[in-house]
Amino acid sequence: MPYDPPPELASLGLGEIAKLVAERKLPPVNEWHPEKSGDSEMRIAADGRWFHQGGEIRRPAMVRAFSSLLRCDNDGSFWLVTPHEKLSIIVEDAPFIAVELRNEGGGKQRVLAFRLNSDDLVIAGAEHALEFRPLPYLHVRDGLWAKLARPVYYELAELALAENNTPLGLYSSDAFFPIEDGG
């Protein structure tokens, strides 16, 4: 069955975004513990591009497929996991990049939805925290994070400045995320 990437977030309402998030079924990679392991000879660059044996993987469908098999263990090592094998993968920073933001509402009723470079959609909230360390990151799932692209971060900062919370920060899905200077 072909995968249709979600439309741009600006064209979607919050209900449509929440439905797309709920429909995305990922393999249960955290439940798979294969004995066979090896090296995938793959790397995710700090800018979110995927490489295999030095060559960039340019097909978005391949990146989406591989990203659905990605797992981060407690020791910080990254793996591509199937029921039969796990292959190490180098991740230079975060495995995902948040490339688009959709803001709906304001104050404590605000909801922030992000589209990742893998076309996954994530709604910031208690289970998907925003952290500023000092660069901004969004928790995607099970120890996997997305770095916010610069334009997305600037958009968040503008929203936070306009809202004028003390401390400076934003709500999303009833959770407050302070923006710290990292100093």
- Find the CATH number of the domain harbouring 42: 3.10.540.10
pLDDT at position 71: 96
Question: What is the pLDDT of the chain when averaged over all its residues?
Answer: 88
The pTM assigned to this predicted structure is 0.85
Last residue of a domain, one of 43, 65, 91: 91
Q: 14-17: long-range contacts at Cβ-Cβ below 8 A with a sequence spacing of 24 or more?
A: 14/102, 14/104, 14/105, 14/111, 14/113, 17/102, 17/113, 17/121, 17/123
Q: Same domain, yes or no, for 125 and 163?
A: yes
Query: What is the arithmetic mean of pLDDT over 126-135?
Result: 93
Q: Is residue 107 part of a domain?
A: yes
For residues 152 and 107, membership in a common domain is answered with: yes
Residues 6+ apart with CB under 8 A from 79: 37, 70, 71, 72, 73, 86, 87, 88, 89
84-129 pLDDT per residue, tens:
999 999 999 999 999 999 999 999 999 999 999 998 999 999 999 9
Indicate if 73 and 42 belong to the same structural domain: yes
Which pLDDT belongs to residue 22? 59
Q: Is the pLDDT of residue 6 over 60?
A: no
Q: Which of 70, 91, 112 is the last residue of a domain?
A: 91
The token pair that represents 150 in the structure block = 């610069």
User: What are the tens digits of pLDDT across the range 50-71?
Assistant: 999 999 999 988 998 899 899 9
How confident is the model at residue 14, as a pLDDT?
Answer: 56
Give me the half-sphere count of Cα atoms (radius 13 Å) on the Cβ side of residue 29. 23
Domain that holds residue 77: 25-91
Do 102 and 124 fall into the same domain? yes
Contact 142, 71 (CB under 8 A): yes
The reply to whether 109 falls in a domain is yes
Instruction: Residue count of the chain, please give it.
Output: 183
- The residue whose two tokens read 């090896």 is 38
* Whether the predicted pLDDT of 181 surpasses 70: no
Q: Total structural domains in the chain? A: 2
- Which one has a higher pLDDT value, 92 or 16? 92
Domain assignment present for residue 160? The answer is yes
Helix-strand-coil split of the chain, %, nearest 5: 20, 35, 40
